[in-house]
Structure 1
Amino acid sequence: MQAEITAVAFDLFDRQGFECTTINQIAAEAGLSRSSFFRYFATKEDVVLLGVEERGLVLRDALAGRPADETPWQALRQALNAIIGFNVENPERALRLSRMMVDTPSLQGRQLQRQNSWQRLLAPELARRLAIPPTDTADPRPRALASAALGCYDAALTVWRDCDGTADLAALLDQAMSVLTG
């Protein structure tokens, strides 16, 4: 049911804008009561961000699964392919979501929360790869690496969005990440 509600909501967001669309409208279009809507989503923002937290877990697991002989930076780059896959599989939805995130101030704050959440998820594996003892929580390097890689991903995604998804997102990410190592 979440997928159906999300599809209805995105259609309304496209027509009316995120801010002008109400939960009551989404529920009515989906054939639900307002209270039924809240069984599936806590907020209107959650409709847009469905799957974002799971993607962070996918990214963390992809990083943990990378070969031990890769540098942390190389492992991050390859792990990000898992996230690129979500965009490439459904570029129309990814572009709609990306545009909505840029155009909607209330979603921009959630984007920052996502960035921080993903940094926290990635930091332990990066610390392990950097041979930082688990007890050393004051070392900023794991968070710095995660932040830099996610910043590169966001930069690549911005360019991809601005060219309507016609560019190769993986190649854009390669360009963005290589500038920090070259």
Structure 2
Amino acid sequence: MTESSTPLQPRMRQTMRAEVARVATGLFAARGFENVTVPQIAAAAGVSRATFFRYFGSKEDAVLAALEGYGARIAEALAARPAGEDAWTALRRAFDVITDARSEDPEGGLALARLIESTPSLRTREMEKYRSWQETLSGVLAERLGRGKENFETALLAAAALTALEVATRRWAQTDGADDLGTLIDQAFLAMRAPAPDLL
């Protein structure tokens, strides 16, 4: 179902949910995650506290709403890669979903990355989300390679790729976007594929 064919009420709810998440993330970035309360977010977004909790179970959920859907989109991109392409390259190119989105809103993406990097509870929740992505990507790889769904090698590849993404994104946040995110991900993938001899 396309966005235009989605019933009006669900679309309005999605729009309002996205707006509340945007307001929350802006407040967190300006004041610090621990210094902003749910009532303050609700007031700034023009909704009630009860409405906030209809959209989100916690403050962390409001921040990580920006990552919703990425797992499925990355998996779709991975499944669409050429059949003859090696798995590691296919995984790297599937992450273009993220770099393309960040290029459309670099300041927003960087603010989100900095917020997650500086907030332990958000980093924990982000890693939980990566874990769910790992299971999804491992399943796609297993299908591409003709392996069983619980295949050890495809699970390891997916986990390694997501680790490369996580480390690159953290470096991007730590340097305030001085380095290109796509380049950092390329470097992380290359380093994991061919580590420097003095590290082995």
- Is TM > 0.5 for Structure 1 vs Structure 2? yes
CA distance in 2, matches of 1:116, 1:27: 30
8 Å contact from structure 2 (residues 64, 126) kept in 1: no
CA distance in 1, matches of 2:175, 2:121: 24
CA distance in 2, matches of 1:164, 1:105: 18
SS in 2 for 1:62: helix
CA distance in 2, matches of 1:102, 1:133: 35
Match of 2:185 in 1: 173
SS in 1 for 2:81: coil
Structure-2 change in CA distance of 1:133 and 1:32 (3 Å): closer
Deviation at 1:37, TM superposition (A): 1.4
Unpaired segments ≥5 residues, structure 2? 1-15, 195-200
What is the count of residue pairs matched by the alignment?
A: 179
Letter paired with 2:94? A
Match of 1:159 in 2: 171
Match of 2:110 in 1: 95
Match of 2:40 in 1: 25
Map Cα deviations across residues 126-149 of structure 1 (whole Å, 9 max, x no partner): 112332134xx2x31111101111
Letter paired with 2:101? F
Letter paired with 1:149? A
Deviation at 1:102, TM superposition (A): 1.6
More deviation, 117-126/44-53: 44-53
SS in 2 for 1:37: helix
Match of 2:26 in 1: 11
SS in 1 for 2:35: coil
Give the alignment's TM-score, normalised by structure 1. Answer: 0.91
Letter paired with 2:170? T
Letter paired with 2:128? Q
User: 2:56 aligned with 1:80, yes or no?
Assistant: no
Give the alignment's TM-score, normalised by structure 2. Answer: 0.83
Larger relative helix fraction: 2
More deviation, 90-99/9-18: 9-18
CA RMSD of aligned residues (A): 1.5
8 Å contact from structure 2 (residues 56, 62) kept in 1: yes
Map Cα deviations across residues 26-64 of structure 1 (whole Å, 9 max, x no partner): 111111111121222222111101132300110010000
Letter paired with 1:92? E
Letter paired with 1:152? A
| Correspondence for 1:60 among 68, 71, 75 | 75
Match of 2:8 in 1: none
Match of 2:136 in 1: 121
SS in 2 for 1:180: helix
